[in-house]
Amino acid sequence: MSAPVLDVRGVVKTFGDNVVLRGVDLAVGEHQVVALIGGSGSGKSTLLRCASLLEAVDDGQVLLDGEDITDPRIDADRVRRRMGVVFQAYNLFPHLSVLDNVTLAPTVVHGRSKADAREEAQALLARIGLADKADEFPDRLSGGQQQRVAIVRALAVPPRVLLLDEITSALDPELVGEVLAVVREVAAQGMTIVMATHEMGFARQVADTVAFLDGGVLLESGPPAQVLGDPVEARTRQFLARVIDAGRL
């Protein structure tokens, strides 16, 4: 593997007395898709928020293209521009149209001309089949459509790495597929992706690596067939058994 794009080293995060991450290591190579699995409260969101500098780590390092982005001397705003984040609750800006949501970062942060940004945004929206929704406001879209727009918004300035936090968990089951299809396409084009997910079937098909997080510790990681099919750790087996019981594998 070449030098990792995103390299999480011994990251510790606590909220008061609650130690949420207990020294997590995770290296993500270029064009790799890593699926982060684990029970609710195991620290998946926290890990992604630390990696995207939305939370400060309490120990350890996060490196982006070899640069230590947890160094307090770094300009965090500049670092965040090189990453894309999509949240479980979409978090589109409700007072801006779909098109303005997508063109916001390119124009305001990266100084592109409005016309260029609009043209690119239209092309991106067309690719996910939402060209006709460009002028709508987010609350007129279904959850699946909103989440697809959120992905496009994160991709409008091509990021070095895309962080997806359970982006299908808030959706009605019949809308999950359309969102995963977009992720699959983005992955096929070579985007480096870390995704927290409960969609084991999708992880098995698309991920290069599945990493199992349990109680703030990365218990095991490896190819999907191994981690999901023949896990080493007892805790992983228990977790997968629960997931199978819930009908999600």
Partner 1 sequence: MTPGVALGAPSELELFRRAWRRRRARRSTLVALLSTLLFAIVAYLVVTSAPGWPRVRTTFFSPTVAWNSLPEIGAGLWLNLQVLLVGGFLVMVVGLLAALTRSLRGPAFAPLRIVATAYVDLFRGIPLIIVLYLVGFGFPALGLQGMPTSPFVLGTVAIVLVYGAYVAEVFRAGIESVHPSQRAAARSLGLNHRQTMRIVVLPQALRTVTPALLNDFVALQKDVGLISVLGAVDAVRSAQILVGQSFNFTPYVVAGLLFVLLAIPSARLADAVSARARRRQQSGNLL
Ligand X SMILES: Nc1ncnc2c1ncn2[C@@H]1O[C@H](COP(=O)(O)OP(=O)(O)O)[C@@H](O)[C@H]1O
Give contact residues for ligand X (rule: CB under 6 A). Answer: 15, 18, 20, 38, 40-46
Cβ contact 192:30 at 8 Å: yes
Q: Rank residues 38 and 231 by Cβ distance to ligand X and give the closer one.
A: 38
- Phi-psi category of residue 81: left, alpha or beta, with phi > 0 → left and psi -120 to 50 → alpha: alpha
Q: Rank residues 2 and 18 by Cβ distance to ligand X and give the closer one.
A: 18
Residue 43 binds which of partner 1, Mg ion, ligand X, none (CB < 5-8 A, kind-dependent) = ligand X
- Choices 106-114, 127-135, 190-198, 212-220 (CB under 8 A): range interacting with partner 1: 106-114
101 is an interface residue for Mg ion by CB under 5 A? no
Residue 102 binds which of ligand X, Mg ion, partner 1, none (CB < 5-8 A, kind-dependent) = none
**Which residue from 32, 34, 42, 45 is in contact with Mg ion, where contact means CB under 5 A?**
45
Q: How far apart are CA 103 and CA 119, in angstroms?
A: 9
What are the C-alpha distances in Å from 7 to residues 3, 40, 60, 203? 9, 24, 11, 20
Q: Rank residues 192 and 236 by Cβ distance to partner 1 and give the closer one.
A: 192
- Choices 40-48, 49-57, 176-184, 213-221 (CB under 5 A): range interacting with Mg ion: 40-48
Q: Which residue is nearest to Mg ion (CB)?
A: 45
Q: What angle do CA 89, 241, 42 make, to 5 degrees?
A: 45
Dump strand ranges (E) for 114-239.
161-165, 193-196, 209-214, 217-222
Residue 58 pairs in a beta bridge with none
95 is an interface residue for partner 1 by CB under 8 A? yes
Q: 107-136: which residues touch partner 1 (CB under 8 A)?
A: 108-110
Q: How far apart are CA 212 and CA 210, in angstroms?
A: 7
Residue 177 binds which of Mg ion, ligand X, partner 1, none (CB < 5-8 A, kind-dependent) = none
> What is the residue whose two structure tokens read 């190819």?
223
